[in-house]
Amino acid sequence: NAGVTQTPKFRILKIGQSMTLQCTQDMNHNYMYWYRQDPGMGLKLIYYSVGAGITDKGEVPNGYNVSRSTTEDFPLRLELAAPSQTSVYFCASSSRTGGYGYTFGSGTRLTVV
């Protein structure tokens, strides 16, 4: 039972490059989320999805894009990477609207130089 799988675990990008952070869950959860975690700060919501084909912005969406073509996958796209996007990114899923708790992936540590 893999839960939520994120790849890659680490990545260094140069300013202006683009990349996609992958997130896959095998629990048939409808709700999926992307958060970023900066040192000393709380987790901030970037984007979320309530089902395949439905996505919406969270608190800090600028510089990111998402898609949800299947229940299992929720990739996060970074276009034109900037140093401010240096962070740890977590993907999470839940079976209902968070009430039963999120299952988090192990995170992607991204550095933009």
Partner 1 sequence: EDQVTQSPEALRLQEGESSSLNCSYTVSGLRGLFWYRQDPGKGPEFLFTLYSAGEEKEKERLKATLTKKESFLHITAPKPEDSATYLCAVQAGGSQGNLIFGKGTKLSVKP
Residues that bind partner 1 (CB under 8 A): 4, 31, 33, 35, 40-45, 48, 50, 56, 58, 90, 92, 94, 96-107
Q: How far is the CB of 40 from partner 1 (least distance, A)?
A: 6
52 vs 82 by CB, closer to partner 1: 52
Q: From the CB of 58, what's the least distance to partner 1, in Å?
A: 6
| Max Cα distance, the chain (Å) | 39
Which residues fall within 8 angstroms of residue 67, CB to CB, at 6 or more apart? 55, 74, 75, 77
Measured from the CB atom, the residue of 19 and 45 that comes closer to partner 1 is 45
Kindly tell me which of 81 and 92 has the beta carbon lying closer to partner 1.
92
Q: How far apart are CA 19 and CA 36, in angstroms?
A: 15
Q: Hey, which residues does 20 pair with through a beta bridge?
A: 77
For the chain, how many residues are written? 113
